[in-house]
Structure 1
């Protein structure tokens, strides 16, 4: 017999926790992979390729869905896809206009914003422990990134906006998918279509089109990993997990993403990490595991 936490069976809660930590691992590795792909193609073009390919792979699941499921997916996926497009634009151009340490720290503020956004939208105060976990995770992010350098510039403001948009997206996903009949794969397909075709439209408006697709194998290998792992798997799991867990809990678990990004950079790209960085990463993982244990 399964134990229930609120309205969620304990077994599903634990499964969603493990799934979101896996998402954090995959997303953490995405920064280095995406950086290598962007050597060959501009940002908007790469986003268009990545997400239109994702939509094409998921199109059969959309066609197999019932008319009601398709309507629910469009009703939910259009606003969530627009939020995701805004996040990708803010993150991408934010990173280009600020220091990497600033970007890593500011995007981690999502874990602090989410409980307050959830409180505002749902009118339900998250457990006090969630604020404590968020504080520990933020302290870890401060150590891992080296903190904020200098005054807030344009790129820093974009990263702050991305962190807030992430918090809003997590809460909106939880709210909009409640009672929806749309399968997670169909919802992911609609979101991918909005991001992919939105990026393509912006590229046409801003640059009168895009250059020819690159022929280099490294570009397509990176794209395949990001499409299959960081988009198909990660978005599907997040959409599923938010039906079985709270937005604050999901945000806390995925806040360990910079830790896995740093580990990927150390062991795969050969970069180094300071003692403070290792300590900060440990705190962020500890906060996520602490939340799982409750």
Structure 2
């Protein structure tokens, strides 16, 4: 298989894994496992996996220096612990389509965070993109659609998802220097370990209290999916693809994930796509597209 085709296959599979999770998680929570219970199982499972993977793949690689140590702790807080607690708490309260659309807000946060943390300049198109994306997100968060009776706390759930996208966007900015300096398993092992210290106190009681004997086979399969595919496989594929994919290609798959999530949610009867949601999606997508455009440098061709 040519390398370009493998990159597309990896990115598509990652998008599909994330997209399916919005609907599959609805089967598991809150009846079988609470949101915090799911997060605890997921993070503990990934922590063990990456600890073993690091032992075999990069046994001598260690994060050194105070600055990198602090950065790795922040990665565990933003990218793993707080991120996952917010995501599953929000998904439990809102619809799959709302959650998938608000997740695409992360690239906008990356640009804003880069301005403050990396001193990047903000251009007029990017500023406009931030504004348009914020309007789309605000309309989606505050809207009351035909499923208001199914998700009476959707507004709170939408806010959690937006906060989740925000902390994840910050994580993407602060983790980049570590990924360039250390082995990926070293960074992920440390990040998930820190995330476990945050998540386990919230969810260990729910994990112990769950009635596992009542889990039908498909629930066991979906729990395994969230631990293995959503946490481990998706990261490994995404990390590999990022080495070869262009920014333009990554942008395509940012838009593909909510499209797949909508198709899966509607086909499984988990959600309904309305004209209002479609309009809000257009605003968010437009905002992401504007902030994702690289600013032109005088005398230099724009990179694609």
TM-score by length of 2: 0.67
Deviation of residue 167 (structure 1)? 1.2
Partner residue in 2 for 1:148: 142
Using a 3 Å threshold, how does the CA distance of structure 1 residues 173 and 109 change in structure 2: closer, same or farther?
Answer: same
Using a 3 Å threshold, how does the CA distance of structure 1 residues 102 and 264 change in structure 2: closer, same or farther?
Answer: closer
Using a 3 Å threshold, how does the CA distance of structure 1 residues 254 and 141 change in structure 2: closer, same or farther?
Answer: farther
The answer to which of 171-180 and 101-110 deviates more is: 101-110
Tell whether the 8 Å contact from 2:63 to 2:186 is kept in structure 1 after alignment.
Answer: no
Using a 3 Å threshold, how does the CA distance of structure 1 residues 219 and 201 change in structure 2: closer, same or farther?
Answer: same
Gaps of 5+ in 1: 1-10
Deviation of residue 47 (structure 1)? 1.4
Give the Cα–Cα distance (whole angstroms) in 1 for the partners of residues 28 and 105 of structure 2.
Answer: 27
Give the Cα–Cα distance (whole angstroms) in 2 for the partners of residues 187 and 77 of structure 1.
Answer: 7
> Number of aligned pairs?
274
Partner residue in 2 for 1:259: 259
- 2:89 paired residue among 78, 89, 93: 93
TM-score by length of 1: 0.69
Deviation of residue 219 (structure 1)? 2.5
1:25 aligned to 2:16? yes
Where 1:231 maps in the other structure, the secondary structure is helix
Give the Cα–Cα distance (whole angstroms) in 2 for the partners of residues 18 and 130 of structure 1.
Answer: 30
Tell whether the 8 Å contact from 1:111 to 1:167 is kept in structure 2 after alignment.
Answer: yes
Partner residue in 2 for 1:113: 109
Where 2:212 maps in the other structure, the secondary structure is coil
Give the Cα–Cα distance (whole angstroms) in 1 for the partners of residues 168 and 86 of structure 2.
Answer: 11
Give the Cα–Cα distance (whole angstroms) in 2 for the partners of residues 105 and 190 of structure 1.
Answer: 30
After superposition, the C-alpha distances for 1:188-230 in whole angstroms (9 at most, x for unaligned) are: 34433433453222235xx597315613222220022122221
- 2:75 paired residue among 70, 80, 83: 80
Gaps of 5+ in 2: 145-153, 294-302
Give the Cα–Cα distance (whole angstroms) in 1 for the partners of residues 208 and 37 of structure 2.
Answer: 6
Give the Cα–Cα distance (whole angstroms) in 1 for the partners of residues 208 and 160 of structure 2.
Answer: 24
Give the Cα–Cα distance (whole angstroms) in 2 for the partners of residues 195 and 262 of structure 1.
Answer: 29
Give the Cα–Cα distance (whole angstroms) in 1 for the partners of residues 194 and 173 of structure 2.
Answer: 19
Where 1:234 maps in the other structure, the secondary structure is helix
Where 1:60 maps in the other structure, the secondary structure is helix
The answer to which of 208-217 and 114-123 deviates more is: 208-217
Tell whether the 8 Å contact from 1:24 to 1:256 is kept in structure 2 after alignment.
Answer: yes
The answer to which of 35-44 and 230-239 deviates more is: 230-239
Q: CA RMSD in A?
A: 4.6
Where 1:125 maps in the other structure, the secondary structure is coil
Deviation of residue 133 (structure 1)? 7.6
Deviation of residue 89 (structure 1)? 1.6
